[in-house]
Every structure is written in C-alpha cells, then in structure tokens.
Structure 1
Amino acid sequence: MLRTAAVRRTPSSLRSTTGPRRTLTGMACRITELVIDAADPERLAAFWSKVLGYVELDREDDGSIMIGPPDTGFGGPQPTLVLSPSDDPRSGKLPLHLDVSPTDREQEAELERLLALGAEPADVGQTGNESWHVLADPEGNEFCLLRARVPRL
C-alpha cells in the first residue's frame, strides 16, 4: 500500500502521550470474513491457501469457496476468506486490500516464496524506499508484503 504520513495518523482526539489510545466504545464486532470477487475462485483459493497456510473450509452452491486456518476455521483469531465467483471482478487498485507479514522468515525470503506461488510485483507509484513490497495476486488484486515479522497463530 502506498502510505503517506496521513494514512496511519491517529486523530488528535485519540492521541495520548502518556498512555495507550482510548477507545470510543467497547468491542462490538470483529472481522470474521473477507469476501473477494473472483473470475476463478478455485485459482484464487489455491493461491491464498498457500500464501496464508489456509485450508478449504466450505463450498457454496453458487461456487464460493471459503478458506481459513486449519485448526480453527470460521470464528478464530484470523478472518476466513471467501472467494466468490463474479463475472465482473475488479482488479488492480481496490478500495480495500490485504497486507500480509512474514511469520517464519525474513521479508526477502517471503517475497521470493510469494513470487514463486504466482504473485507479481505491482507498481502503484512507489519510490523504491518503502519498507513493504506491493504485489498482485493471480487476478491482479494488489496486496502488500510488510517487513515486520509477526508470530504464527
């Protein structure tokens, strides 16, 4: 994602210099699924399953394929992905995209793995000095590989 200083800036009403951010309300919801329109749900399900270590959880009569973490499935700490068939899937810059972080290797090694799985480098106007890589999945949906390693869940 092409980030600017304003993208991740916390509004002044929520900033605190002495402690954690305050929340406006208690937790009422959490993201459990992300739905991605796909010309070929099978192909995208295979790609994202390999990227995330997910497995197929369900198939719907409409051709949608749900993938998610193998041990927890729907409702676990990670959201499931639903690859939904569409005759008019969008590609390229979407209003929402995924950011992924490596769990068991450094960013450059993970970049090589993602490229081998079928990801392609994407140009969204980066300068080359970013700490992340912009990629596209097999249908052209952009996502970013961040530098920070996160623990495997």
Structure 2
Amino acid sequence: MACRITELILDCADPERLAAFWSEVLGYVELAREDDGSIEIGPPGVGAYGPQPTLVLSRSSDPRTGKLPLHIDVNATDRDQDAELERLLALGARHVDVGQSGEESWYPLADPEGNEFCLLRRRIEPVQP
C-alpha cells in the first residue's frame, strides 16, 4: 500500500484572492471554509480525497513568497501553452525571473501573492471524475 497526496496547503495573506485565482487556474470550486479563514478548493463534483489533490489556502500573518521548497507545475488541458499563458496572465499571474536562459520549454510565473509556479508545455488530458 502507498500514500497519495490529498491536499496541498499554501499559507497566504489573502485566502479569498488566492482561492479565486487558483480556482480559475485549475477549474476548481470552493469545498470548505474554516473559522480561521482557510479556504479549501478542489475539483467540482469530486470534493476532497478524489484523484486530484485539493488546495487549502491558509491565512498567515507571515506567508513565505517567491521560491518555495515545493512549487506547483501546471499543464493546459484544453488549449496550447501560449493560449494558457495568456489566460493565466489575465487572471493575475506574472512572469518571474528565476535565472532561466530563455530556451526552457516552460514559463516561470508567480500568483498574485508572489508564489512561484511553472506552466509546462505538454497539453494533458483532464482528469475524469
């Protein structure tokens, strides 16, 4: 038997803002809201503990931003990389310089609070509930 990642927790200053951003990026919906201000988002119609991990945006007075020890990579499911890049930028992502050469097949980006993530080139099939 093995373990499976069920939740990813991201400390942030504004859970509302990041929940809205990441819900649009991933096609997720709000699943739960805690008294401490945390918001859990996940795939619609599946909820927690499905085949994809949920994302918990946890309010913190001292969130780390920039290069995190763990970051998120995303792949488009219904468009090419350039179209997805334009969509992410319109949602509030921004380009970041992480020392890339310009020859990479991915785009390093940051979410509205500065957390780095990468948009990879490969288009993948969406997970079916």
TM superposition score normalised by structure 1: 0.82
Alignment pair present for 1:94 and 2:68: yes
Supply the RMSD in Å over aligned alpha carbons: 0.5
Aligned residues: 127
Q: Which has the higher contact order (CA 8 A, sep 6+)?
A: 2
Tell me the alpha carbon deviations over residues 111-131 of structure 1, each in whole angstroms, 9 at most, x when there is no partner.
Answer: 000000000001000000000
Aligned counterpart for 1:139 among listed residues 91, 94, 113: 113
Name stretches of at least 5 consecutive residues in structure 1 with no aligned partner. Answer: 1-26
Distance in 1 between residues matched to 2:28 and 2:96, nearest whole Å: 24
| 1:148 alignment partner, one of 122, 125, 128 | 122
Task: Give me the identity figure in percent.
Answer: 76
2:86 maps to a residue whose letter is E
1:73 corresponds to 2:73: no
Give the alignment partner of residue 97 of structure 2, picking from 123, 134, 139.
123
What stretches of structure 2 of length at least 5 have no aligned partner? none
C-alpha separation between the residues in 2 aligned to 1:48 and 1:73?
A: 15
Q: Which has the higher strand share?
A: 2
Higher Cα Rg: structure 1 or 2? 1
Equivalent of 1:37 in 1, 6, 11: 11
Moved over 2 A (4+): none
